[in-house]
Amino acid sequence: MNMEERLALNKYDVDNQAHIRLEDGKCRDCSHKACLIICPAECFKLREGAVSFAYEGCLECGSCRVVCNEGGLDWSYPRSGFGVSYEYG
């Protein structure tokens, strides 16, 4: 089973409030943009030189929070009752 098939087994109860917010200026000036590589769900994308984030498919692993040394992320867990539910270990 490949990664995309495994991710498709997860259930997401998406909140209308993003649990991760980007600081555009800090992300734009970031030299390494490691979040584009580290995110296993590929929630971070580079669009027209700016990093964007789609929280709806986030696995809540915290990898982006660990790798971002520019202070460009405001990261928290989703509100109670929202987020990802893992179906496949």
Take residue 5 and report the two structure tokens written for it.
């098939």
Instruction: Evaluate if residue 89 carries a pLDDT over 60.
Output: no
Which residues lie below 8 Å from residue 85, measured CB to CB, with a gap of 6+?
10, 11, 12, 13
| pTM score of the predicted model | 0.78
Nearest to 14 by CA among 43, 49, 48: 43
Task: State how far the Cα of 86 lies from the Cα of 8, in Å rounded to an integer.
Answer: 10
Query: What CA–CA distance (Å, rounded) separates 5 from 48?
Result: 29
Give the separation between CA 16 and CA 21, rounded to whole angstroms: 13
Question: Which pLDDT value is given to residue 15?
Answer: 86
Whether the per-residue pLDDT at 59 is higher than 80: the answer is yes
pLDDT of residue 88: 58
Give residue limits of the domains in the chain.
17-79
- For domain 17-79, give its CATH number from 3.40.50.300, 3.90.76.10, 1.10.260.40, 3.30.70.20: 3.30.70.20
Provide mean pLDDT across the span 1-27. Answer: 83
